[in-house]
Every structure is written in structure tokens, then in C-alpha cells.
Amino acid sequence: MTSDRLPPIPAPQWNAAQRVCADEIIQGPRGGLIEPFIPMLRSPELCTHAQRMGEYLRYRSAIGLRLSELAILVTARHWSQEVEWAIHAPIAMREGIDASVVQALGLNQVPNFTDTEESLVYHFVQQSLVDKKISDATWADAQSHWGEHGVVDLLGIVGYYTMLSVVMNGAQTPAPAGAKMPLPRL
């Protein structure tokens, strides 16, 4: 068992900048200072900018919540990021991603997609992370589905959740206690 390198800072110990940042997160749509921002609170300005970007990408992206959640899961699996997986797997299923797709992703298998847009998100994100480039055919297909705005938002989701994954993997941030859907170990 690894230990949390950057555990929660007790609220009475927050400096002024940390308090402002934490209060903004708590009063926003997340309703609390959740795991990704616990290690980042050590850098309040970074944390503030990151959480604002994440609020847009998670709740208001041009591709919609269901496809955003799928992109988050593909990214979380790539980075073996248990916190993001534990948070977003149940949300993805609530938003309409089939449990068989979530299960396959967790096992690092290519899901048997029945939805064309879900398949496109998967391949777009996988190419971005694994191949470090997106094929012309996948790019054209994505652009025809979501336009340039949607393609940029999808790239932003991959980049943002990659950043959170790197921070939490480095800090060894544990998944939330009692996570209903832990990320399978490979």
C-alpha cells in the first residue's frame, strides 16, 4: 500500500489563497473539495485555473456530458488513474454509457460499441494518448460530428484529465473511500 504524498490540508491550516480557491470549488457544481484538487491546493493559483477549466470541460463541453464522461474514462484507464475512474465510471453509466463498455475499458479492452459517436470518442482519445497523433480519417469524422469547437473541447478533456492523472499518480492520491467501481488492476 502506498501512502498519500499530498493528503488533505486541514481547513484551519489553509492560507488565504488556499481558502479562496477551496471556497470557489466548494461553492461550485462539485459541492466539495474533491480528490483531484486536494494535492493541487498546495499551488492555489494552478488549482484555481485548473478547476475552472475542468468545470467547463466536465459540465459544459461542446460534445456533451455523456461523451465527455467516456473520454474521461478512456483517459483514466490509459493513466491507470483510480481516483478519476472511481468518480467517473458511475457518472458515465448514469449518463448512458453501457456497463459493458465501462467494464471493457476497465479491463483495457476495446469495447463492443453500438453507438457511433461513442466509438469515435474512444478511437479519437486512444489515438491521441497511445499514438500521440490522430489519423486524418478520425479527425475528419470527429470534425463532421462536433465541428472544430467540439474537437478542441475533446482534445481539452484528454489534456485536462491527463494533467489530473499525472498530479494524482505522482501524489499517490487514493481513490475515494468506499468507491463503488474501483479501477481493475492490470
Q: pLDDT averaged over the chain?
A: 96
Long-range contacts from 32-37, C-beta under 8 angstroms, 24+ separation: 33/8, 34/87, 34/176, 35/83, 35/87, 35/168, 35/173, 35/174, 35/175, 35/176, 36/83, 36/84, 36/164, 36/167, 36/168, 36/173
**What is residue 2's predicted lDDT score, i.e. its pLDDT?**
72
Is the pLDDT assigned to residue 57 strictly greater than 80?
Answer: yes
What pTM did the predictor assign? Answer: 0.96
Share of the chain above pLDDT 90, in %: 95
**What is residue 1's predicted lDDT score, i.e. its pLDDT?**
53
Q: What is 152-186 written as a DSSP string?
A: HHHHHHHHHHHHHHHHHHHHTPPPPTT-SSPPPP-
Q: What is the mean pLDDT of residues 6-14?
A: 97
Residues 93, 73: contact at Cβ < 8 Å? Answer: no
pLDDT band at 179 (very low <50, low <70, confident <90, very high): confident
Share of the chain above pLDDT 70, in %: 99
Q: What is the mean pLDDT of residues 123-140?
A: 98
Q: Where are the domains of the chain?
A: 11-59, 65-171
**What is residue 178's predicted lDDT score, i.e. its pLDDT?**
86
**What is residue 59's predicted lDDT score, i.e. its pLDDT?**
93
Using one digit for the tens of pLDDT, what is the confidence trace for 58-68?
A: 999 999 999 99
